[in-house]
Structure 1
Amino acid sequence: MPTASQAQAGDIGIMAAHKSPFNCGKTFYANNWSPGHNPSGSIDWQNYGSDAIAGETVRATASGTANFYSTLAVSDVGIMAYGNYVVVTHGDGTKTRYAHLATMVRGAGSSMSVSQGTAIGTVGGTGGDYAPHLHYEQITSGGAIDTSPTVEGVTVSLGQKKAITSTNNCGGNPHSPEEVCGSGFSTIDSASLTGGTVHLLYNSGTGVNCVVTLKSTNLGTATAVSAFLEPEGGTRTTDSGNYGYYAGPVKKSAPGVCVRWGGSVGSSTYTSPFEHCD
Structure 2
Amino acid sequence: MLAWPKAFTSLLLAFGAVLIPQAASAQDSSVLALSHKSPFNCGKTFYANNWSPGHNPSGSIDWQNYGGDDINNETVRATAGGTAYFYDAGSTSYGKWIEVRHSDGTRTRYAHLSSMARAAGGSMSVSQGTVIGAVGSTGGSTAPHLHYEQRTSTGAMDTSPTVEGVTVSLGQKKSVTSTNGCSGNPYTPEEACGSGYTQIDSAGLTGGTTYLLYNAGNGNNCVVTMKSTNLGTATAVSAFLEPQGESRRTDSGNYGYYAGPVILNAASQCVRWGGSVGSSSYTSPFEHCG
TM-score by length of 1: 0.62
- Structure 1 residues 33-112: aligned runs within 5 Å: 33-74=51-92, 81-112=93-124
Which of 134, 142, 147 is the equivalent residue of 2:146? 134
5+ residue gaps, structure 2: 1-26, 186-201, 211-222, 229-237, 251-259, 264-269, 278-290
Partner of 2:22: none
Instruction: State the distance in 1 between where 2:130 and 2:246 align.
Output: 29
Partner of 2:160: 148
* SS of structure 2 residue aligned to 1:34: coil
RMSD (Å) for aligned C-alpha atoms? 3.5
Indicate if the aligned counterparts of 1:239 and 1:250 stay in contact, CA closer than 8 A. no
Indicate if the aligned counterparts of 1:61 and 1:168 stay in contact, CA closer than 8 A. yes
- Report the identity percentage: 62
Deviation at 1:196, TM superposition (A): 7.7
Indicate if the aligned counterparts of 1:227 and 1:264 stay in contact, CA closer than 8 A. no
Partner of 2:226: 215
The aligned amino acid for 2:28 is Q
Which of 17, 20, 25 is the equivalent residue of 2:38? 20
Flag the 1:243–1:165 CA change in 2: closer, same or farther, 3 A.
Answer: farther
Partner of 2:28: 8
Equivalenced residue count is: 199
The aligned amino acid for 1:58 is V
Indicate if the aligned counterparts of 1:213 and 1:264 stay in contact, CA closer than 8 A. no
Instruction: State the distance in 1 between where 2:78 and 2:209 align.
Output: 22
Q: Deviations over 1:25-49 (max 9, x none)?
A: 1110000011110111100000111
Q: Deviations over 1:229-265 (max 9, x none)?
A: 9xxxxx9852568469xxx9749xxxxxxxxxx9689
TM-score by length of 2: 0.60
Instruction: State the distance in 2 between where 1:60 and 1:196 align.
Output: 15
Deviation at 1:213, TM superposition (A): 7.8
Instruction: State the distance in 1 between where 2:85 and 2:175 align.
Output: 28
Indicate if the aligned counterparts of 1:237 and 1:250 stay in contact, CA closer than 8 A. no
Flag the 1:196–1:167 CA change in 2: closer, same or farther, 3 A.
Answer: closer
5+ residue gaps, structure 1: 1-6, 75-80, 178-189, 198-211, 218-224, 230-234, 252-261, 266-278
Flag the 1:119–1:41 CA change in 2: closer, same or farther, 3 A.
Answer: same
